[in-house]
Structure 1
Amino acid sequence: MSKTNSFGRGGAPDDKRRSFLKGAGLVGAAALTAPAGAAVSPTAEQAPRAKARVPGPRLAAADAMPPSADPVNQISSGGDFMVDVLKTLDIDYLAMNCASSFRGLHEALINHGGNTKPEILTCPHEEIAVHMGQGYAKMAGKPLAMICHGVVGLQHASMAMYNAWCDRVPVVVMGGNIMEANKRAPGAEWPHSAIDPAALTRDFTKWDDQPASLQHFAESAVRAYKIAITPPMAPVMLSLDAELQENPIENRDALRIPKLTRLTPPQGDEAALAELAKMLVAAENPVIICDRVARTPAAMPRLVELAETLQCAVIDNYGRMNFPSRHPLNQSFRRSILASSDLIVAMELNELWGTLSDFHDRINRTSEPRTKKTAMIATLGTRGLYMKSNYQDLGRYQEVDLDIAGDAEASLPALTEQVKKLIDEGRKATFEARGKKLAAAHLAAVEQAKSDATIGWDASPITSARLCAELYGQIKDEDWSLVGTSIGLSWPHRLWNFDKAHRWNGVSGGGGVGYTLPASLGAALANKGSGRLTVAIGGDGDFMFVPSTLWTAAHHRIPLLYIVHNNRAYHQEYMYLQAMAARHGRGITKADIGTTLKDPSVDYATIARGFGVHGEGPIEDPSQLGPALKRAIDVVKSGQPALLDVVMDQR
């Protein structure tokens, strides 16, 4: 894909070819202007040899200069003002893959803005840029910005934008465009432009605009930022005209940057929260299920306070770092308790029906509820406050008895106070007895997980359990942060002590492959400078989509330990294909066709070293795992990224 006009701005192709030949010293100036058949004097032997100019960006820029009659200097640009606006929005970074349609803003960021707040993150692909923003926002608690090239760059960014939409994460996306047809140069500027670029992604962005003036940009940029960070959060999109970025500012004094005001998240209705409190206090076996409750570090202690006040079970779906994994009330791996619960309270749950149902993927797909018929169901969250109709990330409709629209984190203090008012000594004693039973069951589940982790301990390929156990053994005394895992990898949540808000930041949202590596790097960027040790475990199939993320890690010196869970397959699809073959009675021996990454097997450590990242592997001998982990951790603690390629069991 070409991101620039092959012939520059104006000029025929032949003229440009001649300019290049001239600049490269391949022909003399007289030869370019002499009529055909005319003698060129002096001869090449008689004339002094001119020093050839070295091809490169400077030469290309010089040859692309407009005719001398046009003005060649200006003292301001629209891009300068745009940078001034961005600096008011608490945006620390702007990720990009450079392109001509936003060259005006790019230049202004560097020379007018000093490449600080926002600082440019150079990304080899637009999907990497957006996914970095997704991971960064969940760890930093605020969005970064990215900019992409016209409709082609936006199409590359769209998968990551969809993941961020499904994950309800704010990313400020901008895209270059040339609005006026008479201003587009021949060639690439036409297929890279659009009347309405944001139409590509409107079904999975919360808001978009295409400013027609600099004042329009100022107001829309502030509006976009506020909309993005207002629960339910989501990506926003601004299309920026190239001339608006590049042309001089006519009257800077007439332009005004609106103030970004502090946002207060929407809280649940007070009467509805009081009703929910009565239901919770009266219930014999209430269960709280949470998914994306935590927007800030304040959420976890608030949820702990409510659960301890009630001494009730909590199931964490791990969309965010909601509840401590070693807390005695954590029953995340005992979902059978839903069958005996008389009240289920779902907080910021992405897909309620799927959590409360058992689904059977057979010839005739069937399902049944995990709950008893008499169980009451209540919801608290912002999921229903903003929906779109086309993409089906909303899940199947689930009937509930009480539905409270409001941000769960913001609503928890009021709900907890209502609960405390209703508890008498009799209920308090009942709650304490209930809490002791839950604590015993939790402890038994933890001990069972430790026992299960020893199965196949010395096997090769290395078991997922051993990797997670050995990794935790080396980082548990550090201020660690796990920012990504491969599909279905639950061992860390079963074995590790997740006790702080930054220990975990959730999953991809939309299940789009290519999320884990760049999103983990974005989270590592948010952790950079905090002293935290950032680690991630990603699938090999996921890595193959965006391996050049490693170059960004090396270039910006972002410390991240990335472990490739190398099972040499898209193993979820491998299992699905086996199931299909078995269903038809055709045998499963050919299920590796189209589902595996072997013949040749990929050497991810060599790829990492090629991008300037410390790489070791492939590690197949489990006895070599511990020493390799130690070496890689030392590299990360020194401030550099590291990758381990570990050949592991299939899931």
Structure 2
Amino acid sequence: MPLVREVTFDLLRRLGLTTVVGNPGSTEETFLKNFPADFTYVMALQETNVVAIADGLAQGLRTPVIVNVHTGAGIGNAMGALLSAYLNKTPLIVTAGQQTRQMLLSEPFLTNFEPQTLPRPYVKWSYEPSRPQDVPGAFMRAYAMAMQPPTGPVFLSLPLDDWDQEMAAVDVFRTIATRQAPDPDRLAAFARRIEASRNPVLVYGGDLGRSQAWDAGIALAERVQAPVWFGPFTENVPFPQDHPLYAGVLPAAVGPVSQALAGHDLIVVVGAPVFRYYPWVPGDTLPAGAELLQVTDSAYEAAKSVAGDSLVGDAGLAVAGLLDRLGQRPAPASPRPAGAREDAQALLAGAGEPLTAKQVFAVLSQCAPEDYVLVNESPSNMGELSQTRFGTITKPDSYYIMASGALGWGMPAAVGLALAEKRTGRGRPVVALIGDGSFQYAPQSIWTAVQHGAHVVFVVLRNEEYGILKAFALLEATPNVPGLDLPGLDIASLGQGYGARACRVASPAAIEAAFRQALAEPGVTVIEIPIDKTIHKLLGDG
């Protein structure tokens, strides 16, 4: 009779799940022994990196990835990245070894005492098979749970002695649906309300990107002739930012959102929560006289929305259905200009040192390739990035941030995305903008990138502080908060220590030369750039 391991790996092959990202422990070695030659193991040096690399890889490949971490301690280390994967709606099958079944009653060393509880609430499903022969079926159910909308991570706890048990050669493989069509009557009602609107506005979110509905989103905006905002903390760019109808990113606070949308009588939110708020700034939930419609693939998101009427279904299918039902609205008398982007030469005229973040982005704009992937984890500079050509995203699947706010996701996710570029043959370089504070959460990811020959450029902006927290201190009127300064960090040396090419540059010419070289040469580069310490208003002009 075949072993549990053999039946399970045969199932994983049929599902196309032949990549494992992990950091092995003693309770995982029985799963990994005699690792099949047709599978790929991506080693990371800490569990935050494991989950976030798998997150980026799964988003880049548009397929689930197997994650393998150590029992309770490993899952504990992974929870921050697991939160990000959950809010990013990334399908991951997270596995951890469990102690031998014969000893579980006495809770020996390295037991995960409550295996189904520990990863919650940041997984869609959590399970430990009741008997070894249930392991393949548990993987099949995990795949179905991860891929059915809303997609997201799931967790399996697997006792280490299960893998060598015999079982019948049962076939548990089955196909599943991964898209949910919206209710056609509700969709028709939404279309009628859009057509009856005097001045509608669209708010797009990450579900459109996951639905591969970039072109459909453009078509809807042009059919309705409505401006397009991104929801606060949108995890990927679902609409071209150089389009005349692009309006910007909504501020992440109650009052400012309402102010930004003032004058519109109908707000149509497609594929985004209503709304992600932080910090608390009071005000009206919606502008006076406005109604809201939400399209989401998550019944949970629909239920917790603070206002409006909801429609649950795949964002791409919903947009296609709306296009079938909507007529062409007339263009406005005065076309809306595309969002202003400051001229790089004007920004750099007479620039001193250190440069501002905006000036650094202006330099990068001058030598950026035609096609690249941008990952952003420099929170205090997002406003400045959006005002430059370098931060203007014009192609789908080209920009990623985490929806959670948990630092430490950006660097390993960039590595995963770079591995996906290599795997698919697209070959786009991945550029990760990282703050010097964010860099400290997951520098180990550099090693994985180096070992797997990923092409990723880490541009690290060093202002020797948690700039975003100083901005919060201004907003919250909390002076003299300790722990916000970060002196003495040597980013370039840390990068070199993990095997990357690394340099520290400050002038526009030196930054441009380093960036051009990093883009031209395969492999991993860390570019450390000092920037000025100006603190920008959190909800003000950049």
Conserved 8 A contact 1:88-1:260: no
Deviation at 1:94?
A: 0.8
Give the counterpart of 2:374 among 455, 459, 482. Answer: 482
1:124-146 deviations in Å (ceiling 9; x for gaps): 00110101122222222112111
1:482-515 deviations in Å (ceiling 9; x for gaps): 123411414444333422212113x212211111
**Residues 500 and 603 of structure 1, relative CA distance in 2, 3 Å threshold:** same
Write the mapping of 1:236-635 to structure 2, written as runs, cut at 5 A: 236-245=154-163, 247=164, 249-251=165-167, 254-296=168-210, 298-317=212-231, 318-332=234-248, 338-352=261-275, 354=277, 359-360=280-281, 367-369=282-284, 371-385=286-300, 397-400=305-308, 402-420=309-327, 423=328, 428=329, 431-433=330-332, 436-438=334-336, 440=337, 442=338, 445-447=339-341, 449-450=342-343, 454=347, 458-477=351-370, 479-488=371-380, 489-496=382-389, 497-505=392-400, 507-528=401-422, 529-577=425-473, 590-591=480-481, 593-598=482-487, 601-617=488-504, 619-635=505-521
Deviation at 1:333?
A: 5.5
1:104 partner amino acid: T
Write the mapping of 1:149-188 to structure 2, written as runs, cut at 5 A: 149-182=70-103
2:56 partner amino acid: G
2:66 is aligned to: 145
How far, CA to CA, are the matches of 2:83 and 2:111 in structure 1?
21
Deviation at 1:83?
A: 2.0
Conserved 8 A contact 1:97-1:123: yes
How far, CA to CA, are the matches of 1:385 and 1:368 in structure 2?
25
Aligned residues, how many?
Answer: 520
1:568 partner amino acid: E
Question: Does the residue aligned with 1:369 lie in a helix, a strand or coil?
Answer: coil
Deviation at 1:256?
A: 1.8
**Residues 261 and 538 of structure 1, relative CA distance in 2, 3 Å threshold:** same
How far, CA to CA, are the matches of 1:262 and 1:81 in structure 2?
20
Percent identical: 23
* TM score, norm. by length of structure 2: 0.89
Conserved 8 A contact 1:211-1:217: yes
1:299 partner amino acid: A
How far, CA to CA, are the matches of 2:59 and 2:201 in structure 1?
26
* TM score, norm. by length of structure 1: 0.75
1:573-630 deviations in Å (ceiling 9; x for gaps): 23334566x56xxxx5x55x411110xx21111111111111111x233332111111
**Residues 567 and 76 of structure 1, relative CA distance in 2, 3 Å threshold:** farther
Deviation at 1:446?
A: 1.4
How far, CA to CA, are the matches of 2:349 and 2:273 in structure 1?
35
Conserved 8 A contact 1:325-1:493: no
1:14 is aligned to: none
Conserved 8 A contact 2:297-2:313: yes
1:229 is aligned to: 147
1:547-585 deviations in Å (ceiling 9; x for gaps): 1111111111111011112111122223334566x56xx
2:464 partner amino acid: R
Conserved 8 A contact 1:453-1:466: no
How far, CA to CA, are the matches of 1:455 and 1:469 in structure 2?
7
Deviation at 1:353?
A: 6.7
Conserved 8 A contact 1:341-1:371: no
Give the gaps of 5 or more residues in structure 1.
Answer: 1-74, 361-366, 388-393
Conserved 8 A contact 2:207-2:297: no
2:539 is aligned to: none
Conserved 8 A contact 1:460-1:621: yes
Conserved 8 A contact 2:344-2:366: no
How far, CA to CA, are the matches of 1:547 and 1:205 in structure 2?
25
How far, CA to CA, are the matches of 1:546 and 1:134 in structure 2?
14
Conserved 8 A contact 2:125-2:154: yes
1:392-412 deviations in Å (ceiling 9; x for gaps): xx97x5121x21111212211
1:123 is aligned to: 44
2:254 is aligned to: none
**Residues 501 and 407 of structure 1, relative CA distance in 2, 3 Å threshold:** same
**Residues 77 and 616 of structure 1, relative CA distance in 2, 3 Å threshold:** farther
How far, CA to CA, are the matches of 1:456 and 1:181 in structure 2?
72
**Residues 521 and 347 of structure 1, relative CA distance in 2, 3 Å threshold:** same
Deviation at 1:455?
A: 7.3
**Residues 141 and 575 of structure 1, relative CA distance in 2, 3 Å threshold:** same
How far, CA to CA, are the matches of 1:332 and 1:91 in structure 2?
38
Deviation at 1:343?
A: 0.6
Conserved 8 A contact 1:453-1:465: no
How far, CA to CA, are the matches of 2:178 and 2:68 in structure 1?
28
**Residues 452 and 596 of structure 1, relative CA distance in 2, 3 Å threshold:** farther
Bigger mean CA offset, 147-156 vs 309-318: 309-318
1:148-197 deviations in Å (ceiling 9; x for gaps): 1111111111111111112222211000002525379x9xx823113431
2:538 is aligned to: none
1:251-307 deviations in Å (ceiling 9; x for gaps): 5xx222322414241122111111111111221211010112224473110111111
2:528 partner amino acid: D
Conserved 8 A contact 1:482-1:536: yes
Question: Does the residue aligned with 2:379 lie in a helix, a strand or coil?
Answer: coil
Conserved 8 A contact 1:481-1:534: yes
**Residues 628 and 235 of structure 1, relative CA distance in 2, 3 Å threshold:** same
Aligned-pair Cα RMSD in Å = 2.7
**Residues 558 and 236 of structure 1, relative CA distance in 2, 3 Å threshold:** same
